[in-house]
Structure 1
């Protein structure tokens, strides 16, 4: 028996069925379209974990910090990570033996006609049966089933940590995008209010001209129309701003009824210039790609678990303790009993369950592999799209600035010619409308340039670096989530003491 156990332990330490995980090759682009890349440290151009600080906006910094602490989606993702980590630790416990104790006190009666190797002649036992037993069980990992299971659960836990960072990056990017949209609306409303102001002045002039007999009522009606339409546009922009403000409230975990973001009518800053690194290095920093890879590693290990089900399993089991019908002699040496020995289970027939389980595991692996490749392709497309937006918005902003300059000049000339009586008021209206439209378009493009920069940062994984240890961000705990820990326990309630 000693030789058998030695061989079993040796096998358990070395044998392991199933494929070992190898990272699949991906077709990394040598460069992106229309961009000349230069080599750089993947995290050198962004503050670690706080990429939004490149925009140098104190209010944005405040919102991002609050969202990281209070966002409910992030808290849920962290809770899922805690679940996965606990599952991995539970799996690790399968390496160790289990030991338990059973204490029973029963009143029993045996049958006088029970099957027996010798005649009972109606003898039976009628009385107490007391047991104080200890049970021992230890499954030897002969074929690596437990090791593969632990490997799978650890990869799943690592993927859950990546999912936390993916949710965090998405929340941070949403906060920044909605913030820049809201700031663009503030700048637009400032321009439209200015338009209402000078259109109101034009209305006063037109009214005075009518009273003096130098103007027509048509000019006055046209001026009133321009003022009213601009005022209506302010209300429309305010409704959009209120909606974005409510979205930001949700993102930072605040009550929308009490959250208020002060109006900032200043012009949007030009987006920061982001030097980029080698495409492959950048894409590897994305948490969704890392999560997909960890899911693939977990699925690969599960194949080993399924294959191990085809092989025999060996479990060392035993029990021992004291058994008696009288408590006075329960712990005497004569009441001692024990048993110890190996238990070998050989799968012979299971209705093809093991074969179909292996087939399912392989299909799950294939699905995870396709998901990993899809994540990589989506990452490349996201970077390409963001780079294209940044490039085209920059070109559009230059053209729009030239158009804005000429439109403002045309508006000024139209006013001068109208006041001199050489041009009709319709020319003033058209020039003002064109200037306002181009001014608003310039502001919208400025906002989109900042949003495109946010999208690029998100596409390359933000400030997250796969080479650094994966850490879960600290969040503000929800008192209700741990309320049960503050309640007095059973014994505290029983004896009137606080825990």
Structure 2
């Protein structure tokens, strides 16, 4: 005989149950999550430190066929392009970020399963001895033990009355989107680190070339001092000074080579390689001859992946407020099972042995929370506090992004003027060294004047090279601060 739960056994009971169920289903899909809105941020109309493009510089104009993420192509450096592609495919931190993104997407898929019913099927025997009271006879009448074979399917579905499941899905989707934005942020940071290490390596190559030239000049100066000493024009002091200057220049050159080796090792790790398997041929740095336009401050909120990640974290926290609120209201779970049961395996699938059960086998259909010692109230307060924290972090991230852009804009603007001034210093120091060497040959000045002039040349040339390295790094930092873009979002979208 078919089984049915006692709550729906009588006609009146069925009417009441169906009426209650219909009313609850009308409420299904209601959500208690607050209406999500991003905090209003006051954005300036333009960057304070943005300077008009100098006539000596050309504005970066990425080609339309370049992908938005391949911002390094504006440097038009084949070696850098190759390094960036290697890092994208082999960097271990990027692979870890990609794995975290897969984890978040898998979690979203698991949470979305709550929107659908679950269906299970099973088969197996059970050995049971029911009590006399459960079978109807009076107490004292025994019931024999029996073995029942069952083959049945069961279904369960939680009706999302107050949006708990929907809010859980919304939170999981926001978390997945946050992981995606963080993955893009890690990718952008990796690309910027590769470019900065590459330009640092080239800066050290340029410094090494400066010291090689200084060593060659010191060697010539030592030969000159030795010849004049042999001719009796000077004493041994000048020869010793020339020898000391040569040794100092060689030592400084070795320091630069040591720093270059360390920088090369760091670049190898970014590329996902062992330092022993990577070598970069020397290539002295050159001045970056373009300036990246920063665009409008309002566009920064759409470009930066870390800002997008902070915003998605805020959205997930908002959805979790809805989950905490839904816990105050009843939950409705529909369950049922149908199949066959028999005392013998051969008779299991006879039509007369069919059975079904509507309603939960254990527990209740509708669960209403009453007393929990303040657990749900505490969870709701916690969810609201987490949202407030994420909102504050989002606004702080936006302010930090504006600061980073302004910092790099000011760096580039001032570096433009500083490099021009340093070029004058290089030219003047080279002329002073040339004059001092000529006067020393004629005996008009002592060797200390020559040493001072040559030190000035070395320092001026080295400062120029270092400024060029700082300029390249600041350009990379600006592009990174802008989120890897250099034009308006509409143009970037069209360029994809």
TM-score by length of 1: 0.88
Give the 3 Å change call, closer, same or farther, for CA 430–41 of structure 1 in structure 2: closer
Question: In 2, Cα distance between the equivalents of 1:17 and 1:234?
Answer: 68
* Residue of structure 1 equivalent to 2:255: 236
Greater CA drift, 177-186 or 47-56: 47-56
Question: In 2, Cα distance between the equivalents of 1:337 and 1:274?
Answer: 74
- The Cα shift of 1:31 comes to 2.3
Aligned with 1:292 (options 303, 307, 310): 310
* Residue of structure 2 equivalent to 1:25: 40
* Residue of structure 1 equivalent to 2:432: 410
Question: In 1, Cα distance between the equivalents of 2:486 and 2:326?
Answer: 37
Check the 8 A contact 1:12/1:140 in 2, yes or no.
yes
* Residue of structure 2 equivalent to 1:428: 450
Check the 8 A contact 2:293/2:486 in 1, yes or no.
no
Check the 8 A contact 1:292/1:371 in 2, yes or no.
yes
Three-state SS of the structure 2 residue aligned to 1:105 is strand
Aligned with 1:450 (options 455, 472, 476): 472
Question: Unpaired segments of 5 or more residues in structure 2?
Answer: 1-16, 54-59
Aligned with 1:303 (options 298, 315, 321): 321
Question: In 2, Cα distance between the equivalents of 1:400 and 1:29?
Answer: 34
Check the 8 A contact 1:46/1:463 in 2, yes or no.
no
Does residue 316 of structure 1 match 2:334?
A: yes
- The Cα shift of 1:112 comes to 6.3
Check the 8 A contact 2:61/2:74 in 1, yes or no.
no
Does residue 88 of structure 1 match 2:94?
A: no
Instruction: Count residues in correspondence.
Output: 466
* Residue of structure 2 equivalent to 1:247: 266
* Residue of structure 1 equivalent to 2:88: 68
Three-state SS of the structure 2 residue aligned to 1:320 is strand
Aligned with 1:344 (options 345, 356, 366): 366
Cα displacement string for residues 149-186 of structure 1 (whole angstroms, at most 9, x for unaligned residues): 11111111111110011001111111111111110110
- The Cα shift of 1:114 comes to 6.7
Three-state SS of the structure 2 residue aligned to 1:257 is helix
- The Cα shift of 1:2 comes to 4.2
- The Cα shift of 1:26 comes to 0.7
- The Cα shift of 1:464 comes to 8.9
Check the 8 A contact 1:151/1:301 in 2, yes or no.
yes
Question: In 1, Cα distance between the equivalents of 2:277 and 2:131?
Answer: 80
Aligned with 1:353 (options 361, 370, 375): 375
Three-state SS of the structure 2 residue aligned to 1:26 is coil
Aligned with 2:49 (options 7, 31, 34): 34
* Residue of structure 1 equivalent to 2:290: 272
Check the 8 A contact 2:408/2:477 in 1, yes or no.
yes
Question: In 2, Cα distance between the equivalents of 1:466 and 1:138?
Answer: 48
Three-state SS of the structure 2 residue aligned to 1:16 is coil
Check the 8 A contact 1:91/1:150 in 2, yes or no.
yes
Question: In 1, Cα distance between the equivalents of 2:107 and 2:380?
Answer: 22
- The Cα shift of 1:127 comes to 4.3
- The Cα shift of 1:113 comes to 6.9
Question: In 2, Cα distance between the equivalents of 1:464 and 1:90?
Answer: 38
Check the 8 A contact 2:433/2:453 in 1, yes or no.
yes
Give the 3 Å change call, closer, same or farther, for CA 42–227 of structure 1 in structure 2: closer
Question: Unpaired segments of 5 or more residues in structure 1?
Answer: 472-499
Give the 3 Å change call, closer, same or farther, for CA 54–112 of structure 1 in structure 2: closer
* Residue of structure 1 equivalent to 2:234: 215
* Residue of structure 2 equivalent to 1:391: 413
Does residue 7 of structure 1 match 2:27?
A: no
Question: In 1, Cα distance between the equivalents of 2:347 and 2:68?
Answer: 70
- The Cα shift of 1:315 comes to 1.2
RMSD: 2.5
Cα displacement string for residues 402-447 of structure 1 (whole angstroms, at most 9, x for unaligned residues): 1111000000000000011111111111100011001000000011
Aligned with 1:365 (options 387, 391, 396): 387
- The Cα shift of 1:397 comes to 0.7
Three-state SS of the structure 2 residue aligned to 1:164 is helix
Question: In 2, Cα distance between the equivalents of 1:464 and 1:387?
Answer: 13
Question: In 2, Cα distance between the equivalents of 1:126 and 1:34?
Answer: 89
Three-state SS of the structure 1 residue aligned to 2:333 is strand
Give the 3 Å change call, closer, same or farther, for CA 389–283 of structure 1 in structure 2: farther
* Residue of structure 2 equivalent to 1:151: 170
Three-state SS of the structure 1 residue aligned to 2:156 is strand
- The Cα shift of 1:355 comes to 0.8
Question: In 1, Cα distance between the equivalents of 2:145 and 2:165?
Answer: 46
- The Cα shift of 1:82 comes to 0.8
TM-score by length of 2: 0.89
Greater CA drift, 112-121 or 387-396: 112-121
Question: In 2, Cα distance between the equivalents of 1:465 and 1:437?
Answer: 38
Cα displacement string for residues 25-55 of structure 1 (whole angstroms, at most 9, x for unaligned residues): 01212222232589x9999898511111111
Question: In 2, Cα distance between the equivalents of 1:467 and 1:214?
Answer: 72
